[in-house]
Amino acid sequence: MSQKDELRVIFFQECEDLLEQLTDGLSQIESGDHDTETVNAVFRSVHSIKGGAAAFSFDALVNFSHAFENVLDGLRSGRFELDAALPLVLSAGDRLHDLVEAARNDTPPPGDVDDLIAMLDAFCGNADPEENMEFAPTPLTFEPVAITSEPGNAADGGDEARNWRIRFTATPELYESGNDPIALFRALEALGALKARPMVDDFPQLSDLECDRSELTWELVLSTPAGREDIGRVFEFVSDLAPVEIQEEPFPGPGPGPGPAPAQEDKVLPLPQAHRPVIETAAVPHPPAQPSAASAASESMPQPPSGNSNPSRRKQQSIRVDLERVDRLINLVGELVISETMLSQSLSEANLVSHPSVSAALGRLQQLSTELQERIMAIRAQSVKPLFQRMARIVREAAVATGTEVRLVTEGSNTEVDKTVIERLADPLTHILRNAVDHGIESPEERRAAGKPAEGTIRLSAAHRSGQVVIEVSDDGAGIDREQVLQKAREKGLVGGDADLNEQEVFALLFEPGFSTASKVSDLSGRGVGMDVVRTEIKTLGGHIGISSVRGRHTTVTISLPLTLAVVEGMQVEVAGQILVVPSAALRETLQISDARIFKMGASQPVLNVRGVLVPVIDLGHCLGLRVRPSRFDRGSILLTESVTGAMTALVVDRTAGQREVVIKGLTENYGHVPGISAATILGDGTVALIIDIDQIAQLDRAVQRRTEPGLAIGA
């Protein structure tokens, strides 16, 4: 890869961070929870993207960003009303994402970009974007005059030129962030006549020179009618990367250009902290396009002072690694876990575990193996925040298409999930959110008639629970009509006319291929595709999906996913001579049959009384076809499990063999979908054990019961 290609990759990686900041700011503005700094942060994100795009000649991205930042500049200066500009700004934010993606993939920009640029220019009151600049360069023809105003009032401006002496140190951090001092000097030239010279008195000897560092200090003399704040704006994007000292000359100079070095008693003093503009810097991997004379002094505003402007402060260090290398490392960690399990079992069979030194070494190996696994998994872990930000756009567009008023509320956006999970969650969440807007949220008139606010609310949340990440999409809409779903299923032949289904079985019909309750086909729904794709994708990720709903009140779709795709904690159990693994994330309690209170009422399924709650009892061996239905439950163990929807199930097994970490090996590619089984693993002795899919076991057991004769004697 050439250096230019590497810089291009870095630019788009930086764009991801800038777009995240942009979306954050727009979300705060849309919700009303913002201040002046929020608008400034949005402006800086767009401005930084434009600068980097210009370096790579992404003209479409540059032109659009320029028109966008003109509107944002008017907002932060108070020239435009925020409420009037908000719809246009939100649309521009969405389109900027598209343009960055088009530039990344070398594809044509969206077709409506020119129309949106025209709307942005029209909003600014001028169809020519080049005339939207707030300032224009003015030739300086003046004679220096004595300065009588105090330095603190220099920002008041005026028509008379003053001389300013500026000291600027180009630190290594400045260059690392993609900035170039020459761009700053040219921006200063837009304010007036400028002379610059390097300060070489303290420059190190050649033998002491570090070729990869730069500590060169420049002394600049600027003759301009502009004030201190105008000059400070030029350095606002680099003020936390390089020290800048600005001092007004207390005497009329002989003309532009550096005069004699100041005497010892006339030291140039640093600008007081209160006057020092400090701004968050969004770096690009290449020096940005040189600012024009018209825009150099107007595209920035001073920001509140930072508590720490020391350019030498320690920065977070990071490197970029090919994802394939991380995947190979994760696979090796999985094999290490298997080897560690085999070693542990071999030592146990040889009766060596009780030896103090062997036990200590084995314990240390297990500790290091676990820590290594956690560290490696953390490398792939990423926040779901960018994903949630994309979903805000989906909801906004769906609301416009359906004519509903919807507000998206996100919670837990900092929850970290495996990168692969995040990438493959985009399509399922898109389907779910579109369904929530199209099927769930009623029209404003219907909501008012039902005593609800005209604006519907969709809540998107993520959280870690019991070793899994749980993502919920809930709405306060009309809920699901069970009878309508059942009727549609009968019409399509998915269930028999006399089928008696419980609530969860009815909701499960929504995931059947070709199923839809929509009365007509729209751009969002009605074609019978979507929810079956959602379930397939979630299952592929090793997760589960469930639905709960109350008619007229709400609907919640719950997705449960493993934190990683390689190693999980599981309880090993024996059933009919087979070793199976029950994921610990679904396990709530274990007890012996002899201590359990199991009841059977008539021909119905036996139930377990757990502190006053009746839980259905399932014989795991019979459910999986490993043995015939037992005549009685008189020995063995019971595992109390909970599905992603909160449904409790009591699994009967012959015995438990303890908990341990197991490496997930997928079955779908070679064997397709196996009912009741999510994956497989390799045990310490080299044998293969199946991993139970808790969310499918109850449904599978009901299907088995329909094919077999009822009747079961209950033991003590």
DSSP 256-296: SS--SPPPGGGPPPPPPGGG---------SSPPPPPPTTTT
Res 294 pLDDT > 70: no
pLDDT at 269: 34
pLDDT at 536: 80
pLDDT digits (tens, 9 = 90+) for 16-62: 888 888 888 888 888 777 778 888 888 888 988 888 888 788 888 98
What is the chain's alpha carbon radius of gyration, rounded to the nearest angstrom?
Answer: 33
Res 156 pLDDT > 80: no
Residue identified by tokens 């320029």 is 66
- Cα(612)–Cα(592) distance, rounded to whole angstroms? 18
Res 295 pLDDT > 60: no
pLDDT at 460: 94
pLDDT at 145: 34
Higher pLDDT, 40 or 373: 40
How far out from the chain centre does Cα 518 lie? 32
- Cα(59)–Cα(103) distance, rounded to whole angstroms? 10
Q: Answer yes or no: are the C-beta atoms of 340 and 362 closer than 8 Å.
A: no
pLDDT at 343: 85
Average pLDDT over residues 564-590: 84
Question: What is the distance in angstroms between the CA of the first residue and the CA of the last residue of the chain?
Answer: 72
Strands (E), 563-669: 567-575, 578-583, 587-592, 598-599, 607-610, 613-619, 637-642, 648-653, 655-663
pLDDT at 255: 42
- Cα(480)–Cα(550) distance, rounded to whole angstroms? 7
If one counts every other C-beta atom within 10 angstroms of the C-beta of residue 682, the result is 18
- Cα(377)–Cα(374) distance, rounded to whole angstroms? 5
Confidence of residue 308 (pLDDT cuts 50, 70, 90): very low
Confidence of residue 601 (pLDDT cuts 50, 70, 90): low
- What does the longest C-alpha to C-alpha distance in the chain come to? 110
Res 456 pLDDT > 90: yes
pLDDT at 376: 75
Confidence of residue 76 (pLDDT cuts 50, 70, 90): confident
Strands (E), 517-553: 544-550
* Coil, helix or strand at residue 226: coil
pLDDT digits (tens, 9 = 90+) for 410-453: 999 888 887 778 878 888 898 899 889 988 899 999 999 999 99
pTM value? Answer: 0.54
Res 645 pLDDT > 80: no
What value does the mean pLDDT of the chain take?
A: 75
**H helices of 306-355, where?**
323-349
Average pLDDT over residues 390-403: 87
- Cα(243)–Cα(252) distance, rounded to whole angstroms? 26
- Cα(600)–Cα(604) distance, rounded to whole angstroms? 7
Confidence of residue 555 (pLDDT cuts 50, 70, 90): very high
Residue identified by tokens 């500009």 is 85
Average pLDDT over residues 478-496: 83
Residue among 663, 652, 700, 469 nearest 570 (CA)? 663
* Coil, helix or strand at residue 545: strand
Least confident of 101-115, 261-275, 369-383: 261-275
Q: Answer yes or no: are the C-beta atoms of 163 and 253 closer than 8 Å.
A: yes
Higher pLDDT, 231 or 266: 231
pLDDT digits (tens, 9 = 90+) for 223-238: 888 888 888 888 877 7
In the chain, the percentage of residues whose pLDDT exceeds 90 is 8
pLDDT at 453: 92
* Coil, helix or strand at residue 554: strand
- Cα(211)–Cα(233) distance, rounded to whole angstroms? 31
- Cα(408)–Cα(215) distance, rounded to whole angstroms? 49
Higher pLDDT, 629 or 656: 656
Least confident of 141-145, 499-503, 521-525: 141-145
Res 618 pLDDT > 80: yes
- What percent of the chain is helix, strand and coil (3-state, nearest 5)? 40, 20, 40
Q: What are phi and psi of 591, to 5 degrees?
A: -155, 160
Res 130 pLDDT > 70: no
Least confident of 129-143, 437-451, 542-556, 597-611: 129-143
Helix 36-55 vs helix 3-31: crossing angle, to nearest 10: 160
Confidence of residue 461 (pLDDT cuts 50, 70, 90): very high
User: What's the token pair of residue 555?
Assistant: 């609907």
pLDDT at 518: 58
pLDDT at 639: 92
Confidence of residue 127 (pLDDT cuts 50, 70, 90): very low
Average pLDDT over residues 73-84: 84
DSSP 250: S
Higher pLDDT, 503 or 528: 503
Higher pLDDT, 360 or 703: 360
Give me the amino acid identity at 299.
E
Q: Which of 166-170, 327-331, 538-542 has the highest mean pLDDT?
A: 166-170
pLDDT at 320: 66
Q: What are phi and psi of 118, to 5 degrees?
A: -60, -40
Confidence of residue 462 (pLDDT cuts 50, 70, 90): very high
